[in-house]
């Protein structure tokens, strides 16, 4: 029995439903793609807008935008305004402007003949020779706000001794005795480590006890003797080493007991 006879006989025939088309929500084309595409390739333009290759092809077809052609050697040529913008800027700043890698910025600098400005080394202060006799390498770095390598370079160029280190000499840097520079006499008074032991004892009673050498340069200028042999005690201010030991002794500090440890 065919379909027509079945329909005449009153039999119902179920027809297969047609598939409904999927609704695609396409991302709209940005209004500035024509101007932005001039400074990008298709790949970098995809990364700029965060879309896939199919979406980018549709946008370019709809808007008629033209992307930047790649050079014949496959490398991106330097922008026309690079020689004007690049001088005086770092590689990180140029990467933000041109959205490219650091190696590409370096290649553009070399191709355009832009000379990079080398870092300016900080000269040795006049007070450094005197301070080097009392402070360690770490304390000198914190005192002048520079790296430890800078402190070492100052000591090598001047031929002076850093505390706890051998004498640093160079061929063209005469020693202090030959240069006629008077040596700063050491400050007599306290036994070695007495103030540090007293500070360690006072940390049981005060939250912060530390040498004034690690203070900021502006704060140390306000202290007597540039803050040498002075300590900062929270709640008591800045105290000389003798007063620090006296305060510790009032709190039960015994220097002989510390020396026996």
SS3 228: coil
Do strands 209-211 and 230-233 pair parallel, antiparallel, or not at all (unpaired)?
antiparallel
Q: What is the pLDDT of residues 106-115, one digit of tens each?
A: 888 888 888 7
Sheet holding 209-211, edge to edge: 209-211, 230-233, 237-240
Give mean pLDDT, residues 88-95: 78
- Rounded to two decimals, the pTM is 0.29
pLDDT at 187: 38
**Is the per-residue pLDDT at 46 higher than 80?**
yes
Residue with tokens 């050079």: 71
CA distance 258 to 101: 59
For 21-33, b/e burial (b = at least 16 CB within 10 A) is eeeeeeeebeeeb
Domain ranges of the chain: 33-112, 128-179, 194-260
Specify the higher pLDDT residue, 101 or 32: 32
Lowest mean pLDDT segment, chosen from 64-68, 107-111, 223-227, 248-252: 223-227
Of 188, 190, 197, 206, residue with least CA distance to 254: 197
DSSP, collapsed to helix, strand or coil, labels residue 233 as strand
Kindly tell me if the per-residue pLDDT of 103 is higher than 60: yes
């Amino acid at each position: 029995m065919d379909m027509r006879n079945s329909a005449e006989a009153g039999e119902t025939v179920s027809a297969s439903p047609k598939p409904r088309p999927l609704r695609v929500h396409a991302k709209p084309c940005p209004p500035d793609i024509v101007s932005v595409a001039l400074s990008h390739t298709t790949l970098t333009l995809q990364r700029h807008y965060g879309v896939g290759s199919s979406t980018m092809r549709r946008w370019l077809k709809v808007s008629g935008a033209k992307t930047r052609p790649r050079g014949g050697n496959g490398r991106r040529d330097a922008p026309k305004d690079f020689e004007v913008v690049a001088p005086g800027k770092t590689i990180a700043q140029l990467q933000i402007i041109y959205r490219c890698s650091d190696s590409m910025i370096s290649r553009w600098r070399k191709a355009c003949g832009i000379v990079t400005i080398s870092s300016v080394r900080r000269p040795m202060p006049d007070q450094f020779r005197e301070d080097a006799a009392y402070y360690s390498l770490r304390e000198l770095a914190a005192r002048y706000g520079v790296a430890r390598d800078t402190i070492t370079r100052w000591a090598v160029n001047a031929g002076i001794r850093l505390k706890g280190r051998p004498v640093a000499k160079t061929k063209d840097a005469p020693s202090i005795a030959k240069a006629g520079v008077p040596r700063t006499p050491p400050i007599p008074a306290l036994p070695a480590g007495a103030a540090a032991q007293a500070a360690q004892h006072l940390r049981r009673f005060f939250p912060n006890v530390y040498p004034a050498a690690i203070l900021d340069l502006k704060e140390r200028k306000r202290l007597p003797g540039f803050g040498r042999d002075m300590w900062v005690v929270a709640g008591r201010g800045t105290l000389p080493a003798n007063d620090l030991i006296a305060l510790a002794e009032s709190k039960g500090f015994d220097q002989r007991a510390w020396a026996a440890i």
